[in-house]
Structure 1
């Protein structure tokens, strides 16, 4: 492409991305009224953060002094720009060290409060803990490098005693020293594990009798993955015991009930899995979902037990689902193990996605990552809902604000969390995630909307 044409194209794209109308605070939002909580619904320890339902049926966090509030957080607030997750090599840490020195935490919290935020989300650095703003801690029980995994997933081997021991080590190191912190809201056990389900709320599965029950280029689901592990793996033993118990202890009956070729030995499963042949049949799906519920229940029970062994004061905030995981997994998210369901979302169907978690569990829901910079917001929708065309800042802001305000009205949503504090070096504002650039300059395009929404969040949440 000639240089002159390239420059002209760049200028046109830059104009497209940067021109946006102002979005003032809405004048039609009512003033929030005092929230009266139903004391019978409160979960958590008095004197620490709790969660409960108001007399009008809306869920709220309740601070240690007994005041209800709607969580408005930001992820990854840290002097190094990303804590220890995916270091990007930017110079942000050097810049802010010179600019703020030891005052980085206070300066950042002051900025967040000025923009209407009231909490620190996941991935925020330890230098931000107990510095005057409510915070959350991500424990990464499963993704810890020493935790035994299910091959092909981020999921831990929940049947392996080594995983329980590793969780206990993490909880003793992280949770025990914070058990009396009045600014700690609670703990996330993990982030975006992916649950290897054959179907989910957003990915329905329709069986065609003419199709093979072994799908080429498929994605094996959880039961198949566990059955394919080496015999000495605890998850393999648990999966085979589960399956054989449901089929009269007969491996040939398993094959018949699943409608797959002769399963002459356990070795056949690893061969299919290695070849990316996914078992998909009504008989297999019934077993897979039943096993997935057992697996997920064990995950939520053991993670909570590890935390509660060291800290009985703070809320259990779940595993930060990356997407709706399917009915079997949601059925395992029970109030005896999880106080608040946590979920990330980058789609314009914000309300509808949070509603999946709310209906599937009956629990309050905390959004743990949100940003309106994906194609769902920046581009138009074509035939069949496919995104198309060039990105538009105006479209992004209009759709983003509408999606966020609608979601805040959900009766079970107790907060949202903007992703993230600072841009990565390759992000190009204004269609970029950070509230500040790597030069520590605020992204006024995002903040022009977020400040207004934050100021009205409590009132919006009180609306029907």
Structure 2
């Protein structure tokens, strides 16, 4: 089946759908075209599909310029976590505000978050946003501010470890989130821990019983708990994004605010690539794309006759093409610049190895994909007959 031709891109911001333009003139904006596709718009009013890499850094003694490498591989931006000095080399960049460093921090289990129930949190967030954002707020190359960079939401329930509600219930009493969590949870059960234990389907003699489970790294895994954990996490996130987005805009109203899926206070959602299948509305950026992972390497699917490397690259190409074709997606960021210390090529995730040598097993294909990303997003592409 032949795909229909791509729709002509709007030649002016005024041609985008009324009421969808977010951001200020002279900086990066985002808007929806007449065909329903979302686009970033650069400071020159041109449609822009973000192709970034996270954590870009130079290597001491290396002859290679990271920004020159990015351009050669078809990338057009620095993702969050880039070495600050690289921001002066002309590429657009995504800034990051680490709000876990603002005010009282919760660091327990997989949680790395500010205590958003602390009355001092809004003031601490505003002060931190000023320190981070003000030095860069006049830069046209700044795409926007990612407000939840580096946070840990402790939501890996399938790993059997404590998730956010259990962790907050296990904090020391000096944390405002500890008292808020118990009040929030018990309110649904008449204020009685016996009612809570029945709803969760487990014995709980007192509050200390939850702390003991957490100390032993045993996650509560009942359906009743999961419902309350989802409600608590949603309330925690609502409070976080409301304050964080307002703090950034107070100091830098000209640039976009980026943040997690479901956050109503951000301009563009910055989400995990695995969430794209259920995030079609837009505008979204896949903030951690890589084709080094189980679903790209497994033997399941129609391409079992290929080697593992061939399978990884074939599935990776298809995933990146599908990403670009989604109407709500306005860009992506490759997950990491350099291989991790425990990773082994060709199944390491960096575009450069620890030695700073180019990871050609990734860069050659990603460069070819990047060359087509703008065109793929502009118009529909036919489904592949070899979908894994």
Residues 1:126 and 1:32: Cα distance change in structure 2 (over 3 Å): farther
Question: Whose radius of gyration is greater, 1 or 2?
Answer: 1
Partner Cα distance (1:400, 1:198) in 2? 24
Give yes or no for contact 1:196–1:220 (8 Å, CA) kept in 2. Answer: yes
Tell me, yes or no, if structure 1 residue 51 matches structure 2 residue 30: yes
Structure 1, gaps ≥5 residues long = 1-27, 80-91, 204-216, 320-329
- The answer to whether the Cα contact below 8 Å between 2:28 and 2:41 also exists between their aligned partners in 1 is yes
| Correspondence for 2:269 | 341
- Cα gap change, 1:49 to 1:267, in 2 (>3 Å): same
After TM superposition, list the pairs within 5 Å mapping 1:258-297 onto structure 2: 258-261=200-203, 263-297=204-238
Q: 1:447 offset after TM fit, Å?
A: 2.9
1:177 aligns with 2:99: no
Q: CA deviation at 1:303?
A: 1.4
Map of 2:383 onto structure 1? none
Give the TM-score normalised by the residue count of structure 2: 0.84
Which of 57, 62, 70 in structure 2 is aligned with 1:95? Answer: 62
Tell me if the contact between 1:148 and 1:163 (Cα under 8 Å) persists in the aligned partners. Answer: no
User: Per-residue displacement from partner, 1:82-127 (whole Å, max 9, x unpaired)?
Assistant: xxxxxxxxxx31224xx7xxxx4xxx43442333221111211111
Question: Partner of 1:51: helix, strand, or coil?
Answer: strand
RMSD over aligned Cα, in angstroms? Answer: 3.2
Question: Equivalent residue for 2:289?
Answer: 370
Which consecutive unaligned segments of at least 5 residues does structure 2 have? 381-388
Query: 2:45 — aligned with what?
Result: 66
1:355 pairs with 2:313? no
CA distance in 1 between partners of 2:181 and 2:221 (Å):
17
Match of 2:55 in 1: 76
Q: Does residue 168 in structure 1 map to residue 126 in structure 2? A: yes
SS, match of residue 155 in structure 1: strand
Structure 1 residue 284, shift from structure 2 partner: 3.2
- Residue equivalent to 1:41: 20
Shift in Å, 1:136: 0.6
Q: Specify whether residues 198 and 288 from structure 1 end up closer, same or farther in structure 2 by C-alpha distance, changes over 3 A only.
A: farther
Quick one: distance in 2 between partners of 1:444 and 1:223?
43
Alignment size in residue pairs: 373
Residues 10-67 of structure 1: CA distance to partner in whole angstroms, max 9, x if unpaired? xxxxxxxxxxxxxxxxxx9977842452242111112111111110001111112221
In structure 2, what is the equivalent of residue 148 of structure 1? 105
TM-aligned CA deviation for residue 185 of structure 1 = 0.5
Give distance in 1, aligned partners of 2:339 and 2:67.
Answer: 17
* Separation (CA, whole Å) in 2 of partners of 1:310 and 1:257: 45
**Separation of aligned partners in 2, 1:369 and 1:409:** 17
Which residue of structure 2 aligns with residue 223 of structure 1? 165
Cα 1:238–1:442 shift into 2, 3 Å: same
Which string of whole-angstrom CA distances, capped at 9 and with x for unpartnered residues, describes residues 111-154 of structure 1? 42333221111211111224311101122222x49751152123
Matching residue within 168, 171, 191 for 1:249:
191
Kindly state the Cα deviation for residue 316 of structure 1 after the two structures are TM-superposed. 1.2
Shift of 1:238: 0.6
Q: Distance in 2 between matches of 1:276 and 1:440?
A: 38
Tell me, in whole angstroms, the C-alpha distance in 2 between the residues paired with 1:266 and 1:39. Answer: 53
- The residue aligned with 1:126 is 84
Separation in 2, partners of 1:288, 1:372: 31
> What TM-score does the superposition give when structure 1 sets the normalisation length?
0.71
- Name the CA distance, whole Å, in 2 between partners of 1:425 and 1:277: 29
